[in-house]
């Protein structure tokens, strides 16, 4: 049976985790130079994935357009179909962010306002695309050509790995310092 960590210590470990992962929490790309154009820097520490950000903006634009126009079901179905095609194509071919992320986001946002069949289709589309993306994984073709591809870890992941190890050491020290009756 796993030791029970007191709630106060669990909250402390959670806070430490948020601080340790703050600089890469919203960008699932390595920090290396070859991925520099795949992220948007916000301030000194925060990095956002450009593709996810563009899709979110597309979703907001499509949702705003849908709210303003209340499109008929046919428009919603067409927007959903275009989103599906662009989304599936972006899983196979490297497309510009506007085509591969913004258009699917805008199509989904618009389809949400076209009636319940489009809403159901949009939700099913999001689940299916999410599952396909998880199965395929993050596109790492740039890593294949990188001269550091055999380094473990490469410079793109070195800071992340170092911070993760420091977090694990500190959390383990805190848990090891618990009285035996609690651990």
Q: 42: helix, coil or strand? A: strand
Q: 40: helix, coil or strand? A: strand
Q: Quote the CA–CA distance of 13 and 174 in Å, as a whole number.
A: 9
Q: What's the burial of 158, exposed, middle or buried (CB within 10 Å: 0-12/13-18/19+)?
A: middle
**pLDDT tens-digit series, residues 101-147:** 898 899 889 988 888 888 888 888 778 877 877 776 666 667 777 78
pTM score above 0.85: no
| Gyration radius from the chain CA atoms | 21
CA 116 to each of CA 69, 83, 130, 162: distance values in angstroms, whole numbers, following the listed order: 16, 17, 21, 48
- Tokens coding 42: 């916000």
Q: What is the pLDDT of residue 157?
A: 78
Ramachandran area for residue 47 (φ above 0: left; ψ -120 to 50: alpha; else beta): beta
**pLDDT tens-digit series, residues 17-39:** 888 877 666 567 767 677 778 88
- Tokens coding 143: 């890593």
Q: 111: helix, coil or strand? A: helix
- The residue extents of the domains of the chain are 23-151
């Amino acid at each position: 049976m796993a030791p029970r960590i007191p709630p106060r210590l669990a909250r402390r470990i959670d806070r430490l985790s948020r601080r340790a992962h703050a600089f890469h929490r919203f960008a699932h790309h390595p920090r290396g130079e070859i991925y520099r154009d795949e992220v948007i820097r916000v301030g000194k520490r925060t990095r956002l994935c450009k593709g996810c950000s563009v899709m979110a903006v597309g979703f907001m634009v499509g949702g705003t357009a849908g709210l303003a126009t209340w499109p008929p079901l046919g428009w919603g179905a067409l927007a959903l179909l275009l989103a599906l095609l662009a989304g599936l194509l972006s899983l196979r071919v490297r497309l510009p962010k506007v085509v591969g992320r913004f258009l699917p986001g805008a199509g989904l946002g618009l389809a949400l306002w076209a009636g319940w069949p489009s809403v159901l289709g949009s939700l099913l589309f999001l689940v299916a695309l999410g599952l396909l993306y998880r199965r395929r994984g993050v596109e790492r073709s740039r890593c294949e050509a990188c001269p550091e591809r055999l380094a473990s870890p490469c410079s793109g992941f070195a800071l992340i790995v170092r911070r993760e190890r420091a977090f694990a050491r500190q959390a383990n020290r805190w848990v090891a310092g618990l009285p035996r009756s609690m651990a």
